[in-house]
Structure 1
Amino acid sequence: MMKTANMETIKLTLPVILVFSAFTLCQGTYSKESEIPPPLGKYGADSSNVSLSGFSSGAFMAVQVHVAYSKSLMGVGVIAGGPYYCAQANSSVITCMQEPRKINVKYLAEVTRRTVSTGTIDDTANMEGDRIYLFGGILDATVKQGVVQKVEEYYRYFVTTPTFMTNYSMMAGHAMITNFFGNPCDVEQSPYINNCNYHQAFAILNHIYGDLKKPTGEVPLYGIFLTFDQSEFLPGRNPKLYSMDNIGYAYIPSACRSTSSNCKVHVVLHGCTQGRIFLKEIYARKTGYNEVAELNDIIIIYPQITPTLVNINGCWDWWGYTGLAYATNLAPQMSAIKQMIDRVLS
């Protein structure tokens, strides 16, 4: 999640990020691993059924990945996030969280179209027909509900068919929402998972894929919850240089262990202060995705961000701390997510 208490830190660090990011990022490390985890496996998953979702910084990142790799994706879930390239390489971070009326969606759509011509994001025509889920809590004081509504406005420049599912009616604070775990619905504090009697993971996945079995009661997880090596997806096998953890998580449903399973794939992007360093496995185990995945043959990938000196809260890069190309297929974090998807498809 993104904490308003840290806005001054963000504003102070932004001027130096673009100049010194390569130097400072490599020094930010909060943990050491004694063993290298195994590589992410190959499962022969269905390349026509790949999607992703994210909360807070993960929601901003989910939009970026969806736009950049729209040819390979068919749906996205956005929980408390903003439109593509909203921060414009550091200039509009606060606006993109707190001041929706200042977000110029028409300009962002035009930037998107121009970026297509550079070959660093896919053609926007690929987004037509994609399934899009949008959620903004009424009580969210960190990413205002109006910011999420700007995401809807942005996507309507490229998606003309009625493929949206929106929820702007819940009295929820800044959090990923469940029906079984977390803080009270209106709370805004760690772990930024709130129990609002609403199965958000199911709502997202069911909207994207349709006709899914909904978990009722406790679902036995007969699949495999695993850790995998994220370093192989980053340049120089040095994930912390790009604020990524060396460990990622995944849930492989029992029906998806065979490489001929043809299962669906969904990537889940946590928010700030929700990665492994802060919450260990809580976000990957307590947000409800695994139960839906087990019942509906969906492989879930949970990439992990780690804190660094210029990213002290362990946020996904939606404003440019890894470089000016942060929102394109040239960006290390973006490319790493795409490589993880390609691995489980292979």
Structure 2
Amino acid sequence: MRKTLGLLTLLLLAPLACAAGAPSLPTLKINASRTAVVGLSSGAYMAAQVQLAYPELFPNAAIVAGGPFGCAGGKLDMALGSCMKGVPAPDVGALVAGATSRSASGDIGALKNLAHGRVYLLHGKDDALVAPAVAEAGVQFYRQLRDATPALKGMQVHEDGGRAFAHNLPVAGKGDDCGKSVAPYLGHCGFDAAGEIFAQMFGKPAHAAGRAQGELRAFDQDALRPGGADAFLADTGYVYLPPACLAGKPCGLVVAFHGCKQNAAAVGKAFVEDAGFNRWADVYAVAVLYPQTRASFAPLNPQACWDWWGYSGADYDSRQGVQLRWVVNAVRALGLPAGR
């Protein structure tokens, strides 16, 4: 009996011991003026949510194959219809008015913090999953938000929607998957989207990117739960540290959100190693944080998407959203100051 109880105790304590020994995020010298959020598909919607909820931390965003902020309105049927297929078309004017009102109430951040922001919106002409019309609505959302807000006249909005690729993130090599949407959703299109994203966010590079020379590290995501709340993320996330960051020099920060079915549990390290961000991170001296979701059936999220329709709660796209607060905990742990 004692042996049985002892074995049960060991089995119960083993997960706790593993969690306690998991690595934490390193503390870096983050330059708060060089930050951006980047995302593909559900990650694109997530990037927009982080930017609008916390513009004082992330005035810059690259949106790949995503639509306008607030599109789903907390409804899965709206997400699957209007916000993916474009039927009915997203009401951009109403979404802009909603964002303006939510900013005034403090539900999301102060829009004035986007005054010098850069927004790059990339989408493929052959995308059959998120219709080009939805991506165009995302472009119009930012343009109308800028035009309706006097403080945002300096915000740069750049659309890149004329390229022929499907629902994926284009990468530099060429292959037969550019026109397909297949795992790991990195289309070999001969277009280095990561390089263009970095140039749009931080300016022209000093030199071309080579092979990544920094370190890709795993870290404990559970340690960053906001108030202990479940953010519906995987146990482990990843962070890429370029040589400059490893040497203790000031560096920028990009948070890169994968798409549905593109998390590490589904595609291994394909996104965190092969999307192209790491080698450009070396050139720009920018750390790259790769948070990871987890698939679940309660709440219903079998494809491990980021929450852009409300599975984590009604406040999912606000400053109180549990995944957004997790992101804030993570970037502060990395050394990003609380405000600008």
SS at match of 1:334: helix
Q: Aligned AA for 1:138?
A: K
Task: Point out where structure 1 has 5 or more consecutive residues left out of the alignment.
Answer: 1-31
Cα deviation for residue 213 of structure 1 reads 3.7
Structure with greater strand percent:
2
Question: How do 1:225-304 and structure 2 match up within 5 A?
Answer: 225-235=216-226, 237=228, 241-259=230-248, 261-304=249-292
Alignment CA distance shift 1:182-1:252 (3 Å): farther
SS at match of 1:133: strand
SS at match of 2:170: strand
Partner of 1:12: none
Q: Aligned AA for 1:232?
A: A
Cα deviation for residue 165 of structure 1 reads 2.4
Q: Could you report, residue by residue, the CA deviation over 1:110-168 in whole angstroms, capped at 9, with x for unpaired residues?
A: 11122123323111122222111111111100001111111111111333336222211
Q: Is the 8 A contact 1:181 1:287 kept in 2?
A: no
Question: How do 1:55-204 and structure 2 match up within 5 A?
Answer: 55-90=40-75, 91-93=77-79, 94-99=81-86, 102-159=89-146, 160-161=153-154, 163-180=156-173, 184-204=177-197
Q: Aligned AA for 1:199?
A: D
Partner of 1:210: 203
Q: Is the 8 A contact 2:83 2:90 kept in 1?
A: yes
Deviates more, 1:51-60 or 1:227-236: 227-236
SS at match of 2:187: strand
SS at match of 1:148: helix
Report which of the two structures shows the higher radius of gyration computed on alpha carbons.
2
Find the partner of 2:33 among 35, 48, 68: 48
Task: Point out where structure 2 has 5 or more consecutive residues left out of the alignment.
Answer: 1-14, 147-152
Q: Is the 8 A contact 1:185 1:195 kept in 2?
A: yes
Aligned partners of 1:231, 1:277: CA distance in 2, in Å? 16
- Give the TM-score of the pair, scaled to structure 1: 0.85
Aligned partners of 2:172, 2:275: CA distance in 1, in Å? 9
Q: Is the 8 A contact 1:213 1:292 kept in 2?
A: no
Aligned partners of 1:107, 1:153: CA distance in 2, in Å? 12
Aligned partners of 1:35, 1:283: CA distance in 2, in Å? 25
Partner of 1:326: 316
**Could you say what the CA RMSD is over the residues aligned between the two structures, in angstroms?**
1.9
Larger RCO of the pair (alpha carbons < 8 Å, separation 6+): 1
Q: Could you report, residue by residue, the CA deviation over 1:200-227 in whole angstroms, capped at 9, with x for unpaired residues?
A: 01101111100214545xx233211100
Aligned partners of 2:176, 2:265: CA distance in 1, in Å? 20
Q: Aligned AA for 2:312?
A: T
Aligned partners of 1:34, 1:82: CA distance in 2, in Å? 42
SS at match of 2:287: strand
Find the partner of 2:306 among 311, 316, 338: 316
Q: Which runs of 4+ in 1 moved over 4 A?
A: none
- Give the TM-score of the pair, scaled to structure 2: 0.86
Q: Could you report, residue by residue, the CA deviation over 1:311-338 in whole angstroms, capped at 9, with x for unpaired residues?
A: 0000000000011100011111111112
Q: Could you report, residue by residue, the CA deviation over 1:281-313 in whole angstroms, capped at 9, with x for unpaired residues?
A: 110000000000012201000000010101000
Aligned partners of 2:27, 2:202: CA distance in 1, in Å? 22
Aligned partners of 1:283, 1:50: CA distance in 2, in Å? 20
Q: Aligned AA for 1:38?
A: P
Identity %: 26
Q: How many corresponding residue pairs?
A: 310
